[in-house]
Amino acid sequence: MSSDDRAGNDVAAQEVAALRELMTAHHLVPSVPARYAATPQDTERLLARILVAAEAEEIGAVPVPLPVRRRPRAWQLGAAAAAAVAIVVGYQAAVVPQATAGAPVALTYSAGDPAAVASGRAPSARSALTDLASTARAQPAQDRPGSVQYVASAGWYLEVDGAEVSVTALFPTITQLWIAPDGSARQTQRRGAPLDVDGHLSTTAIESAAGLLSTDELPAASLDATLTDRLPRDPAALQTELLQQAAGLPCAQDDSWRAMCLVGSVLSVLEQHAAPDDLTAAMWTVLADEPGVRYLGSTTDRAGRPGVAVAIPPATGDPDATVRVLIVSPSTGELLGTENVTLRSEALRIDTPTVTEFTTMTTSSWVRAVGQTR
């Protein structure tokens, strides 16, 4: 800092001090009543709104006048959650305490663990995904009692304790999304009942009406209602489409990025649309050919359903070193949910594998009207 800068700063500091003195003398700097201080609930609501906005933006609900990160959906939400935490609690990663205190209990897998996926020790998922594709393809045609797609899911999101400016827990959120034939949509998100201490969803959480947080109404043509009917079933053509959806990411950089791009695009379809089984089958076939997709074995998902788990390692350069896990029903081939397991994160002070986000799909169907669930 030059002497001129120092002198300028001194002048400014003196000016501020004089102004403060003047304003204080005239009661122009009154204290804020304690009842208006930020409570943990305020901070929770704030984070929920950020996450809802992130989700809505990802599905095209919010005009985006400024550049946004282009990442596969679930990874982006993970980043959004982490960014929201960092923003709300402060910019210094050092102020974020151990995040694992509130993390969901990790699921167990029969054939390995996320660390093995990251290190390349987990086996290929080719055989498992091929079987799952066959299973999905063999399913009877899905009933379409109406023309509105309805997808519901439950997930855990980070919550910040505003009083202590610390990450304290991950709380469950129920998301419902309806897509009408004209591309209009409604998304609601509400807090669900807490997870059981063993990390499994309460069976009553879906029915809970408590804690409605938001409803976003999207105008016609906001979403592509014909996407799942339009996407090709030929694996090669579908792979091309999925990679195009991830345009902007360095999908060609290496296997990890290619897998990240494909999985991100697959999830953006399956987590938001009522995908026909033949499309789901084609998706698993595409992923079966990816060397970056690894097999974790059988598991039980957070809704208590049997599942087959496959996973992809962190993409090269991912600062949060997060393994993405997909859980698929062995009896129907449908996607049951996803898990993000962060192996280490400087920002979140994670140095042991920690579930930092999960989504459990509860419904994917066609209904008669927006707002209806059957």
Partner 1 sequence: MHPELRHFVLRRGGPEIVDDVVAEAFVVVWRRWDDAPADPSRRRGWVYGIVKHKLAHALRDRDRHLRVASRVVATAVIELSDPGDDLASIEEARRVLDLLPRAERDAVELAVLAGLTTLEVAEALQCSATAVTSRLTKARGRLRRLLAAEGRSDHVIG
DSSP states along 179-231: E-TTS-EEEEEEE-PPPPTTSPPPTTGGG----EEEEEEE-TTSS-TTHHHHS
Which residues are CB-neighbours of 282 under 8 A, at least 6 positions away? Answer: 133, 231, 232, 233, 234, 235, 238
Question: Where in 283-302 is the site for partner 1 (CB under 8 A)?
Answer: none
The one among 6, 87, 219, 230 contacting partner 1 by CB under 8 A: 87
Token code pair at residue 13:
């500091």
Q: Euclidean distance between the first and final Cα of the chain, in Å?
A: 67
Q: How far is the CB of 370 from partner 1 (least distance, A)?
A: 24
For partner 1, which stretch binds (CB under 8 A), given 24-32, 177-185, 342-350, 358-366?
Answer: 24-32
Is residue 140 within the footprint of partner 1 (CB under 8 A)? no
The one among 18, 221, 237, 247 contacting partner 1 by CB under 8 A: 18
Is residue 3 within the footprint of partner 1 (CB under 8 A)? no
Is residue 243 within the footprint of partner 1 (CB under 8 A)? no
The one among 57, 254, 255, 289 contacting partner 1 by CB under 8 A: 57
The one among 78, 112, 155, 162 contacting partner 1 by CB under 8 A: 162
Is residue 42 within the footprint of partner 1 (CB under 8 A)? yes
Is residue 274 within the footprint of partner 1 (CB under 8 A)? no
Distance between alpha carbon 190 and the CA centroid of its chain, in Å? 15
Please, which residue, 87 or 105, has the CB nearer to partner 1?
Answer: 87
- What is the CA angle 66-170-80, rounded to 5? 10
Q: How far is the CB of 366 from partner 1 (least distance, A)?
A: 32
Residue type, 214: S
Tell me how far CA of residue 111 lies from CA of 123, 289, 291, 302, 303, in angstroms. 8, 20, 17, 18, 21
Helix (H) / strand (E) containing 362: strand 354-367
Is residue 105 within the footprint of partner 1 (CB under 8 A)? no
Residue 342 near residue 351, CB atoms below 8 Å: no
For partner 1, which stretch binds (CB under 8 A), given 86-94, 107-115, 216-224, 318-326?
Answer: 86-94
Is residue 32 within the footprint of partner 1 (CB under 8 A)? yes
Radius of gyration of the chain (CA): 23
Token code pair at residue 366:
């066609």
Token code pair at residue 14:
């003196």
Is residue 25 within the footprint of partner 1 (CB under 8 A)? yes
Is residue 20 within the footprint of partner 1 (CB under 8 A)? yes
Rule CB under 8 A: which residues touch partner 1?
8-9, 11-13, 15-16, 18-23, 25-33, 36-38, 42-43, 45-46, 49-50, 53-54, 57, 64, 66-69, 80, 83-84, 87-92, 160, 162, 165
